[in-house]
Amino acid sequence: MATVQFPSDKRRQSVDVSANKTLTAADQGIVQNVVADGIVITLPSTAAGLSFTVRNGGVKVTNGAAGTGANGTVLVAVSPAAADAIAGNGFTAAVNKDALNTKATSTVGDEITVVGSGTTGVTAWSIAELVGTWAREA
């Protein structure tokens, strides 16, 4: 199991994710920092007020400073439950389609924050914040 980072300053708590992961309510407030290529972060079924942040951490740099990752090394997919969609901030809602931070355009620190509505379907997850280039799965 991954270790949650509890910074002593005002930075957000985070956990490095290097394998596919299905989020639960317990993951709220902890930034999911993806540090391996091709990882899928699966959202739970929507529930009113649930909020999750997923960040592209890049593949860790072997001879770099601690905590550094490389740009253009990680594809991140945020996947809603089969009956749900991610919409807003330029995304056209489509049920069961992922939000993608593609490897070619990814930058360490790209992130998406989604908030659940509690209503299944195209209004299930709304994008509250988007940093970097994200696209909806075709």
DSSP output for 8-62? SSSPPPEEEE-S-EE--GGGTTSEEEE-STTEEEEPPSP-TT-EEEEEE--EEPT
pLDDT of residue 3: 58
Choice among 8-12, 17-21, 113-117 with the minimum mean pLDDT:
8-12
**In this structure, are residues 126 and 114 in contact, taking their beta carbons and an 8 Å threshold?**
yes
Does the pTM surpass 0.95? The reply is no
Q: Which residues contact 105 (CB under 8 A, 6 or more apart)?
A: 72, 132, 133
Q: Supply 113's token pair.
A: 């924050």
pLDDT of residue 92: 84
